[in-house]
Structure 1
Amino acid sequence: MAFSEFEAKKIERAASEFLTSRRPPVEIRPRLDLDVRVSGQSVQIVETRPHFREPSTIIESPVAKATFVKKSQRWKIYWMRSDLNWHSYTPEPESRSIEEFFAIVNGCFFG
């Protein structure tokens, strides 16, 4: 189930504010950048960079993900561990809003 138009705009606005505060300077973005992707009921933050041996190939590394649980009206927060699986982010396993999710990621994942 996709987000409603209102929810999608809210996510878009929160993602834009997050990216404005966290993206590297414009001159660095071809070598390292951040992106926010929406898929189904999830919002994912992804780091992108060229492959070190094949610069024409872009590597995408997932950083964090929030999945909306309609029943509880909460966002479940996950992080990608070295085993390449999503794990619940134990210090803050859920948030009440998408804005809170981005604030948690901004403070805890990027310091």
Structure 2
Amino acid sequence: MAFSEFEAKKIERAASEFLEDQRPPVEIRAKLDLAVRVSGQSVQIVEILPHFRDPSMNIESPVAKATYVKKSQRWKIYWMRSDLKWHSYTPEPESRSIEEFFAIVSADKNGCFFG
């Protein structure tokens, strides 16, 4: 089930604010950048890097994910471990809003999202 138009705009606005604060300087973005992807009921933050063998191609590495659970009206928060599987973010496994999710990722108290 996709997000409603209102929810999609809210996510877009929150993602835009997050990226404005967290993206690297313009001169570095060709070598490292961040993006937000929405798929189904999930919002993912990804790092974008040039492929080491072919710099004209990019590699997207997932950093964080929030999945909306309509029943509880909460966002479940996940981080990508080195085993390339999503794991619940133990310090704060849920957030009440998408803005709170982006704030938690920005704070990154345990260094799970950006090392």
Matched, 1:49 2:69: no
Match of 2:8 in 1: 8
* Aligned match of 2:78: 78
Residue of structure 2 equivalent to 1:35: 35
**Separation (CA, whole Å) in 1 of partners of 2:114 and 2:88:** 17
Unaligned 5+ segments in structure 2 are: none
- For the residues of structure 1 that align with 2:77 and 2:69, how far apart are their CA atoms? 11
Compute the TM-score of the two structures, normalised by the length of structure 2: 0.93
Number of residue equivalences: 111
Structure 1: stretches of 5+ with no match in the other structure: none
Could you tell me how far apart the structure 2 residues matched to 1:55 and 1:12 are? Answer: 29
AA paired with 1:68? Y
- Indicate the residue corresponding to 1:106 in structure 2: 106
TM-score by length of structure 1 reads 0.96
Query: Deviating runs (4+, > 2 A) in structure 1?
Result: none
Q: Over the residues paired in the alignment, what is the CA RMSD in angstroms?
A: 1.1
